[in-house]
């Protein structure tokens, strides 16, 4: 059943909405109850990175063998990823205000990295909009998208680990065990990640179907 993953994502997210609030969490200074944001802020970024990976996959497919289907999927996935970065930044900013004491800090390499990554993907959208020829646009933007993906990973995965970061699990060489997650939190956090990743795929699929409809009407 092709709708099954959608139902699964909705159920998982609903589960995390209920147990994310009710479950027990470590009692920590400064963080207090805001530690529950881990269930909502972090999975949104996972969904964003997942969508950018989907975008990269279809860009590679476009380069290997051109068709407008692959190209449109690469674009739509990056658009959904881009939209996930907006609540990602907004929730992070709000959380930072009440724990780090500021809406935004340029001291944190992850914040800077995310800002630069978003600009890199904005450039991808501008590049696409500025080429009229369909095939040329597909090839050019596919090549650019590979660079964009690599840069994004350098900026949000690699650099924050090399220098010090306010984000937990960064600065030094983290493993998942070093996260401030106890087992109770894992029971909510992992389903949340799966739920939001599936949810982003649902949005991507919907948007791509609309794009293909538009394409067929234009033919």
Partner 1 sequence: MNKRSLILFLLSLSSFFASAQDNGPQMADGMRADGKIYVVIGVLSIVFISIVVFLILQERKISRLEKQIKK
We find the least distance from the C-beta atom of residue 15 to partner 1, in angstroms, to be 10
Q: Rule CB under 8 A: is residue 86 a binding residue for partner 1?
A: no
Contact 5, 198 (CB under 8 A): yes
Q: Rule CB under 8 A: is residue 216 a binding residue for partner 1?
A: yes
Q: How far apart are CA 144 and CA 156, in angstroms?
A: 18
Q: Rule CB under 8 A: is residue 1 a binding residue for partner 1?
A: no
Q: Is the Cα dihedral 148, 212, 9, 62 positive or negative?
A: negative
Q: How far apart are CA 79 and CA 124, in angstroms?
A: 10
We find the least distance from the C-beta atom of residue 216 to partner 1, in angstroms, to be 6
Q: Rule CB under 8 A: is residue 217 a binding residue for partner 1?
A: yes
For partner 1, the binding residue among 5, 8, 17, 61 (CB under 8 A) is 17
Neighbours of 90 (CB within 10 A): 12
Q: Which of 162, 54, 64, 76 is nearest to 113 (CA)?
A: 162
For partner 1, the binding residue among 12, 13, 49, 188 (CB under 8 A) is 13
Of the pair 10, 116, the CB lying nearest partner 1 is at: 10
Q: Rule CB under 8 A: which residues touch partner 1?
A: 7, 10, 13-14, 17-18, 21-22, 24, 202-203, 206, 209-210, 213, 216-217
């Amino acid at each position: 059943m092709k709708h099954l993953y959608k139902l699964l994502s909705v159920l998982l997210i609903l589960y995390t909405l209920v147990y994310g609030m009710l479950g027990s969490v470590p009692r920590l200074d400064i963080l207090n109850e805001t530690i529950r944001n881990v269930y909502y802020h972090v999975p949104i970024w996972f969904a964003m990175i997942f969508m950018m990976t989907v975008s990269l996959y279809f860009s590679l497919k476009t380069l290997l063998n051109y068709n407008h289907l692959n190209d449109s999927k690469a674009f739509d996935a990056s658009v959904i990823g881009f939209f996930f970065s907006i609540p990602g930044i907004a929730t992070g900013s709000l959380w930072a205000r009440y724990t780090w004491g500021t809406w935004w800090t340029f001291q944190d390499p992850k914040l800077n990295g995310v800002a630069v990554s978003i600009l890199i993907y904005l450039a991808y959208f501008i590049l696409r909009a500025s080429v009229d020829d369909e095939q040329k646009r597909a090839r050019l933007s596919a090549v650019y998208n590979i660079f964009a993906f690599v840069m994004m990973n350098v900026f949000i995965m690699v650099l924050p680990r090399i220098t010090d970061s306010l984000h937990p699990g960064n600065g030094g060489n983290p493993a998942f065990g070093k996260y401030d997650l106890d087992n109770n939190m894992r029971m909510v956090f992992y389903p949340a990640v799966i739920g939001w990743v599936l949810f982003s795929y649902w949005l991507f699929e919907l948007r791509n179907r609309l794009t293909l409809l538009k394409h067929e009407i234009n033919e």
